[in-house]
Structure 1
Amino acid sequence: MAQRTQRTRKSRTDALSRERIVEAAVELLDADGEGGLTFRALTERLATGPGAIYWHVRNKDEMLGAATDAVVAAALDIEPAEPPASPQDEIRAVALGLFDAIDWHPWLATQLATQLSRSPWSSVTPRIIESIGQQVRALGVPKGSWFTASSALMHYILGAAGQNSANGRVLGAGVDRSEFLDSVSTAWEKLDPDDYPFTRAVADQLREHDDREQFLAGIALILTGITTAYPPA
């Protein structure tokens, strides 16, 4: 009888894989944010008991880390180009993968900041820094500057993508982006010309800008700085 109970318990935990639990966690996070991710909600979504989930994941922090890592891994799973792309192209692909992931998953930016600060030894930070750092090395940057150049790219990518995602959340689904930018640009144009000459001068550029194009332009500026400071041998 004991052997049968043990086999039944093992078959249930095998059927409910860690990957399926993490997938369900991502779905809950996308729908309701961090507050919506509870073990009770997971058991309801997966039609199982809490014990089966605790078999794979010990607590909510571990669940959030696993969900973050799964989304980042998918974002960085980039098909190799034919012919092989340049390091600059690879970095742009990594950057856009993370930009889109943060845009699609509103909770991700906060979790990435948490992971980078609290547990940089976990899989998320090395996964990101490796995907960028290999291309920085391929650019011919000297070894003593690998970390600096990679960190500059990583912080820009995560910061700019996170800000873009935050802008979308603040505006909400019912706000027209073009109308909002037009109102901000108009307000900037009315600022005191003596106190805010530059802000007034770029007001029209704010009105017309595209978020993805601006993001990639920032990547291009950083790459230009890196290749200028460390020209290939």
Structure 2
Amino acid sequence: MAKRAPRRTDGLSKEVIVQAAAAILDDGGEAALTFRALTARLSTGYGAIYHHVANKSDLLAAATDAVIARVMGDAVVEAEPREALRTVSLGLFDAIDAHPWVGAQLSREPWRPALLEVYERIGGLLEALEVPERALFDAAGALVNYVLGVAGQNAANARLLTDGEGDRAAFLATVSAQWESLAPEKYPFVHKAAAHLREHDDREQFLAGVDLFLAGVATLR
């Protein structure tokens, strides 16, 4: 019979608990995050964890808040607003790509501090770009929805390929070949886009979308 790991004797902070939870989420997704798994990783009892977080939902929210706070902290807004928006957007894209569960949690509980921080930063930068007051709310909502939507979908696709032991290049090559086989008279755009699909970079395409958005809001002044 295997020996149990010795119970830790040092104090357990919420930050340590959240970091451990994030590691479990990164390794196995939401299904892997249980209080049993967390107590085993931290070599502690349930009481030490419940002292800081009430339940799994609270733990997921805290882990998500920590990831987004790190992105907002890393994205120092010293550049002009347009470049700062690109930096913040790409930071969120990369964070959700690294932590797919973050995107799902933001959609599930949009009232949490994490999403408020995202809206505040993006809305403030759009205001600095002199987007008119009449369009500011819609512009911020559109950009946040684009960033989180594309980032979440990209992360989900990446996780699907990983879980299925797939290869992104092989997958795109297969889909591209299917598109190329379609009748060009019926699917002219899709037929022409097939080559781009095979070779495209997800981050570059994402930033291209941000740039298209910024070009659009520039006409609102």
Tell me what 1:204 maps to: 195
Matches within 5 A, 1:1-233: 15-78=11-74, 80=76, 84-116=78-110, 121-172=111-162, 174-230=165-221
Which structure's CA Rg is the greater one? Answer: 1
Task: Return the offset for 1:183.
Answer: 1.6
Task: Return the offset for 1:106.
Answer: 2.2
CA contact (8 A) 2:75 2:91 kept: no
The 2-side partners of 1:72 and 1:60 are apart by 18
The 2-side partners of 1:209 and 1:217 are apart by 11
Alpha-carbon RMSD = 1.8
CA contact (8 A) 2:21 2:59 kept: yes
Instruction: Indicate the percent of aligned positions where both proteins have the same amino acid.
Output: 53
Q: Give the total of aligned pairs.
A: 213
Task: Return the offset for 1:14.
Answer: 8.6
SS at match of 2:52: coil
Gaps of 5+ in 2: 1-7
Counterpart AA for 1:157: V
Counterpart AA for 2:79: A
Task: Return the offset for 1:13.
Answer: 10
CA contact (8 A) 1:115 1:124 kept: no
Q: Which TM-score applies when normalising by structure 2?
A: 0.91
The 2-side partners of 1:16 and 1:40 are apart by 16
CA contact (8 A) 1:64 1:111 kept: yes
Counterpart AA for 1:38: T
Gaps of 5+ in 1: 1-11
Counterpart AA for 2:106: L
1:23-76 CA-to-partner distances (Å, cap 9, x unmatched) read 111011111111111111111111111111111111111111111111111122
Q: Which TM-score applies when normalising by structure 1?
A: 0.86
CA contact (8 A) 2:96 2:152 kept: yes
Counterpart AA for 2:46: P
